[in-house]
Structure 1
Amino acid sequence: MDEQADTSLTEEDYASILTAMHTLTGRYGSGLTLNEALAWWRLVVRHIEEGFDTQWVWEYHHELACRDWLCEAWPLLTARVRTLRQPFLNEMDNRFTAATAPLQGKEAEGRRNGRWWHDRYPRRVIGQPDDELPPSWSPAPEYIEDD
């Protein structure tokens, strides 16, 4: 069987992606596409792996909005789209988990409706060691030199 035929999306698949985009536009600003959200998640994961800049520490949870979008979009997508994209999402989630540590204290109580990625913080950061970090980022992340 032709591999290309196995991975082509149907009209129903594209309609589900469009539905997700339109449904989530109000909550996440401009209409992200599935590919844009996945690319944004990959970029966020890469930045965290390389060392999250403490200059943006208070924007950290905002950076995770692309993963929130994916969480809300996933049930709106056809099973075929989810099956095709799940391996990539799993890879990014695994890399994110490896590059982060669980939050401590009150923030670690999982109050974000099962959105586990908000219950983690970067293991490695760049910036000034005297920059203020959230108390829940304990033990403190490792500071690395910015290239």
Structure 2
Amino acid sequence: MTTEEQTAVHAAMVAAGADRRPGGRTRTFHALLEGWGVEVAGVEEGYAWCGPEFDNDISCRSTLADVWPLLPPRVRSARQPRLDELDERFRAATIEWPGRGDEEQWWMWRIPRLLVIEPGDPYEGGWPAGWTMMPFPKPDSVRVIT
């Protein structure tokens, strides 16, 4: 990246309010994109937290969506393959909410295919504890493992 592009990327992060993490620590665009990669890898391995925490964890993808249109075109073009790869991996590791997949923030309407629970956690064939707020029965394509 040129110095001018680096400055523009930083300005995009600031404009989208994405340059700071909770607690005030700074965050770079690279860290934001790689953070999405870490979340995707965690979902692929099996998600071990509750539904509301899942929403929080994948919110970095929403932040990327806010920053993306503000980036210089050459930076977007160079990083688009990585974003596309991560998005495809996320789609493969999740299932779509019934009737909700075509929305603008599609990632917010997906559920991990593999939910990991601790031995002894309540689970009787439906949603495990932490996911019982889901407004539909657990699909057969969502596996719960200990």
TM-score normalised per structure 2: 0.79
Q: Does 1:10 align with 2:10?
A: no
Q: Which residue of 2 aligns with 1:3?
A: none
**Residue type of the alignment partner of 2:134:** P
Do 1:52 and 1:122's aligned partners in 2 also have CA atoms closer than 8 Å?
A: yes
What SS is found at the alignment partner of 1:52? coil
Q: Deviation of residue 98 (structure 1)?
A: 0.3
Q: Which residue of 2 aligns with 1:126?
A: 116
More helix by share: 1
Deviations 1:39-72 (A, max 9, x none): 110010001000000x333211111111111101
Q: Match of 1:118, as an amino acid? A: M
- Seen in structure 2, the aligned counterparts of structure 1 residues 10 and 123 have a Cα distance that, compared at 3 Å, is same
Q: Which segments of structure 1 move beyond 6 Å, counting only runs of 4 or more?
A: none
Q: How does 1:46-125 map onto structure 2 within 5 Å?
A: 46-53=41-48, 55-104=49-98, 108=100, 114-125=104-115
- Alpha-carbon separation, structure 1, partners of 2:90 and 2:135: 18
- Count of residues in correspondence between the two structures: 132
Residue 142 of structure 1: aligned partner:
143
Gap regions ≥5 residues in structure 2: none
TM-score by length of 1: 0.78
Deviations 1:75-119 (A, max 9, x none): 1110110011111100000000000001136xx3867xx111001
C-alpha distance in 1 between matches for 2:58 and 2:112: 12
* Percentage of matched positions with identical amino acids: 33
